[in-house]
Structure 1
Amino acid sequence: MSESPSSMVDRVVTILGVFERSMGPLNLGQISVRSGLPRSSVHRILQQLVNARLLSRYDNEYRLGLRMFEIGSLVVHRTRMSEAARPLLQELCTATGHVVHLAVLNQQDVVYLERVGGAFASTLPSRVGGRLPAHCTAVGKALLAYSPSDVVDEYLWRGLSRRTDASLSTPGALEAALTRIRSTGYATEIGEAVSSVSCVAAPILVMEQAVAAISVCGPQDRIRVDELKFRVKWIAAEISRRVTSTSRSRTRSRPLITSVPLSGHMASAGMADTGR
């Protein structure tokens, strides 16, 4: 009789908990005893966890695998990013009066880590933890533009679905958009995820690759791209600096938006703007 999904998850969690309490590698017998699970079930689950790189096996002993470290590091990195970004996102929202997002790329989607905004936010499909197709959003296009070529190639290979009539639906259209984004440092979206809604986004770069992106979104008739692009790019550059800085000063919040002019400051942010 096969195990139910919930039963299997419970057993996996129990086994991983054994490693959490252990200071070194464990063999099959030790894991079975400490978890209280049948030896045969433990052996089967251990093999699946090894195949998934969540555990590694050396001879007859098991230990936590590299993928567990990768996942843990990602959680820490995203938590630190959210903490660094949150006060700046609030400033950006206050200064512009629009909804502000922080998002990351996950396969074909963007996943929203933060959303700051007022009443208009309730009209948007974005939510913290929610997903939207990357090519239909400004944050998604900003992320794709600064992703490795193999990531973009796989994205195009999977196909482009439409959310509205304005959504990009061909590889050529998306590739042209990504080229423009790389030359200007910002991305736009005009009714591509939600009709009558526009966004301006910029990537948060670490080692020339996008680890996240921020955007300002609002009613299409109220979004002024030529003004917002400077604010968004400046804040994205500052978040990047705070995330990558080894100094404790990265956790301090400074008023950046209202004190920075809308032109002539991008050189200090290390990002050139050639216009669209």
Structure 2
Amino acid sequence: MPPEPPVSQLERVALVLDALQLEGFLTLTEVSVATGIPCSSAQRLLERMVKLRWLLRVGDRYELGARLFELGSEAIRNHWFYRIVYPHLVELQERTQLIVHLAYLDGGDVVYWEKLSGSMGVRVPTRIGGRQPAYRTALGKALLAAESDRCLEHPAFNSMKRSTPATIIDRDELTREVDRVNNDGVAFDHGEALVDIGCIAANVHAGHASTSDGYTTTAAISICGPLGQIRREMINSVRAAANQITRAAAVNPMIDT
């Protein structure tokens, strides 16, 4: 059943972008079906978005345009918090030789903000802008531990599915794991997202602020690699990097002082 027609033009734009992000490219008719926007209205909207370079039309199909790629890249690289974090990520990668991630929480998922490849040749199928269910990852556990208990009430945690035999799929077990992270200050993934791949993560804070998403934690960082290469002393490296980032980002420039 198609969605109810959106009320505002801005809502229509958001639905079009969401549909194209999911499908890659769509015809006018497919956009109309996916969004609930009547074809005549959708055609006018799509052509306006093409003129703004938000979309690219190829034949009779539409895809995301160059302007969105430009904005997305700038949003990642020029964000004030990212500029503070990046040197610490590089230092952590050099110290551990493992893959380093920076991610934030969005509903029941973690979204990868940055990924630095390790020096040991291991490949992990994560990408900047990609998502993973929070319950499967050390990053997700670290972020959930830093937020209020209501985050664990998200519908995503009502039907958790295994990615590997080690994946946590029980709500009570996840709650206990998040409590343990709160006590220890670090989170672990023991092959729960990918077989034989482990991670250590810790959350990092920016200056306290009232945010539109209601979250208090800015992000989390992690190291990731084969379980056999995750050594206990690396825990201190992750903790130290997280503490350094939190101290460096203690003042949020978006807040009047």
TM-score scaled by structure 2? Answer: 0.65
Q: CA deviation at 1:237?
A: 1.7
Letter in 1 for 2:248: R
Does 2:250 correspond to 1:236? no
- Tell me by how many angstroms 1:246 deviates: 6.1
Contact 1:104 1:211 in 2 (8 A): yes
In the alignment, what sits opposite 1:227? 233
Matches within 5 A, 1:64-83: 79-83=79-83
Q: Percent identity?
A: 32
Residue identity matched to 1:216: I
Which runs of 5 or more residues in structure 2 are unaligned? 1-37, 55-74, 209-214
What residue in structure 2 maps to residue 140 of structure 1?
A: 140
1:127–1:11 Cα change, 3 Å: same
Q: Would the alpha carbon gap of residues 177 and 5 (structure 1) be closer, same or farther in structure 2, given more than 3 Å must change?
A: farther
For the residues of structure 1 that align with 2:239 and 2:122, how far apart are their CA atoms? 25
- Match of residue 259 from structure 1: none
Kindly report which structure 2 residues correspond to 1:28-177, keeping only aligned pairs within 5 A, or say none: 79-118=79-118, 123-155=123-155, 157-177=157-177
| Deviation at residue 11 of structure 1 after TM alignment | 4.2
- Which has the larger share of helix? 1
User: Which one-letter code corresponds to 2:142 in the other structure?
Assistant: A
Contact 2:97-2:120 at 8 Å conserved across structures: no
Describe the SS at the equivalent of 1:231: helix
How many residue pairs are counted as aligned between the two chains?
Answer: 189
**Change beyond 3 A, Cα 1:5–1:194:** farther
String of CA shifts for 1:137-170, please: whole Å, max 9, x gaps: 1001100111122222125654212211111001
**What is the CA–CA distance in structure 1 between the aligned matches of 2:100 and 2:218, rounded to whole Å?**
17
RMSD over aligned Cα, in angstroms? Answer: 3.0
TM-score normalised by structure 1 residue count: 0.61
Q: Is the partner of 1:192 in helix, strand or coil?
A: coil
Structure 1 segments unaligned to the other structure (5+ residues): 18-74, 248-276
